[in-house]
Structure 1
Amino acid sequence: MSLVVYSAACLFGMAALLLFHTPRVALRDPLTATTCAAIFLGGLCYFCSAPVTLDAVNDVTGIPNFGAPMTYSVISAYSASLLILLITWRGGPGDRIRCWSVRIAVVYSLLIAAIITMFALADAPVERLRDLDTYYANTPYMREMIVLYLAGHGACLLTMCYVCRRWSREVTGILRTGLRLIMLGLAFDVIGFEGAKSTAVVARWTGHDLDFLSTDLAPPVTSLGALICTAGFVLPRLLPAAQAQWRSLWDYRALAPLWAELQDVPTAPKPAPPRWQLPRGRLYYRELRILDALLALQSRCDGRIREAAYRQAVAQGSSPGEAGFVAAAAMVVDAAHQAGRLRPSGSPGPPGTSRLHTAVFSETGELVRLSQALATSPVVEAARGGVQGTA
């Protein structure tokens, strides 16, 4: 059991780190902060509920079963954080969000205080690491403590199910997918935690033994449900960023032919980029260098090259838009040659043949299309061959 819950706790921690990778930004964003807090508390729940952890806490404090109110308090704090996260995520007036958040925090703080008080009043001398809920189901004050934490968590689950169900009808796309994952995770939690543990406790009240529901069924089912629920919260936050990084990586690679053509063009020196970067950062530096090189080549751009390449591209069946990029790519190849890439530096092109042309493309998509035309167009390849022939 300890391995199962520790594994769940580690996965929760990894999810929190993914969202909290930039602390300054995360702390300024209430949604990111509340998401990280909820995921962290979820992982802490599983860490605290592991029998190994409970045994260590009981030994350190010298109080049998001290780990029980500690775990139940963390579960209650986790329930409160989920409700606050859902309210923050749905959005609305700031005053309304703060008001409801304070109310939830107060209610669950009182619940935690009641749980600790019940444990302090109870007589529970026998240490139980796995079956405390059922073993002490009929013990005064321990019984009330167990009912309190189950009721608090159950109220959280039902409230979230209701809100997510209504909200999912109003939204589409990745947000609806996230809400449905949350509802699926909540269903596992309702069945595997609330249902199993409550049934086992009630069975003890009526003189029956269904302890396996609490000790064997609840931990793995609850872990699975919590992970699905966490995925529902995290997916709408991380997937757009992951897609953006993937797109940046694709664009970075697509710009490789253009950068290979321009990397030897003399430009103003730039600070060296960081050694380790995500694709978006690498794309930014590559675009910056390409744009600098294109700006440096403007005075060498020959309009006649562009017009001739445009006519050839149209004659070969290219659309006017495609022909425009092909023509610009052919002009860039010629300008790079004039700048000295394909022949010794310091040897200027023929005087009077160059005209100013704007070869700068400000959008990433335009640079990518220019790079693709440069790499694949036979017109540009012919222009490159002509340049090499005159070198």
Structure 2
Amino acid sequence: MELYQSAMQEQTRREQQRRRMIRWRKQKKEKKLDMVEERRRLEKELQRRVLEARMAFDELTIRSAAEAYRHVTVERAVLMSENVALKEAIEDKLKVKAQLERETQEFLDQIRSNEPPVLARRDDDGWCVQLPNGAPSFYFSPFTWEEFDNILKNNDVVYAERHPCTATVGKILGWTVDYAPLVRNEAGTSFVAHARFTRRLRCSLDKAHRILPHLDKNVWPVLVTPRSWGCAQTGSICYQPLQNFNENALIMVGNIPGEVHLRYIVLARHTREQRPDGKRVDKYIMAIADSEVNFRNRQAEGEQENVKWVLEGGLYMTITEVNENTIDVVFDQWSECLNEMHGRELYIDWIRFPVRIEQYVSPARLLSCTIYTGGNVGKLDTGRQFRDYSEVSLLTIVA
């Protein structure tokens, strides 16, 4: 009996404690609400009085230092009040924005986790290509081998004849730079820039062949420069394979992320030839290409405001064996651009890949180098045009 009474008393005590806690929490909540309301009332009262004082001071003529001080004090109070209100409004908006971005990212991650990594559907007529990082998808129709081969043969022979390099810029990090005059593309909607970089390197052709064809696609050259299209790049370029004819011939899509995604289809091939004198020549070509079927696919999908397709550009590199320890490298690159100003500066961006090639096959080179331009000694800054006697380092070029 005593045990039962003790248990009942303990239960009653706990119930009373629970009710006290409920009353205390309720009172605390009401007190907090009262304080918030009081703060709002006081802020409104402060704003009213400051406004009245400001209006009164506007009507008065300041005759003494004391009046001037009071006037400045009122103005300072107004500005502080406005500053606090603006900061609170900005903080609220930033919190909402962060929450929306977090929830959106979680939602997109959940969707992507349920999708195939590259292709949603694939057949002989074409398939929908899904790109990483939320980039818009597109429908791709495969090229035939004849289309692939004809496009690359055309670039191999015709381009040097159509856009010959006639102006020598000078030497940059030991590379001789030649530049072609800017010309308009066939449609007349943009300019085409073309530059050639040449250099003799101390390296065997076999060593270069063991390295270059096996480079990761992330370090392959970018055929389109975003700033030449007035675009801001927000991430690294993504090369995604679309077709493989053999280990030395493939088709990829290149996507440069940004508010407007710059995108192109690129055909890539590596071949080795032997000249009549017995010297071997390795050729690497990447050419932006299109087909009638893929053009019709884009028309059927409709214009996308956040995607810009680039239809002309490429590179052509020949590595010629001089002797068992020496090679001659000729690297040509060409691309569309919006205007002449950007076109004249593109070789500053393009030289990065030849320099990287030299680092891969001849890593013992010096880390900086003098540039000779038109007989003047100067150095290169990637953000500006040449200026004599300025500073340069290799890291600036290849970063």
- State the TM bucket, normalised to the shorter chain: under 0.3
More helix by share: 1
Q: Which protein has the larger Cα radius of gyration, Structure 1 or Structure 2?
A: 2
TM-score normalised by L of structure 1: 0.18
TM-score normalised by L of structure 2: 0.18
Structure with the bigger RCO (C-alpha within 8 Å, sep 6+) is 2
More strand by share: 2
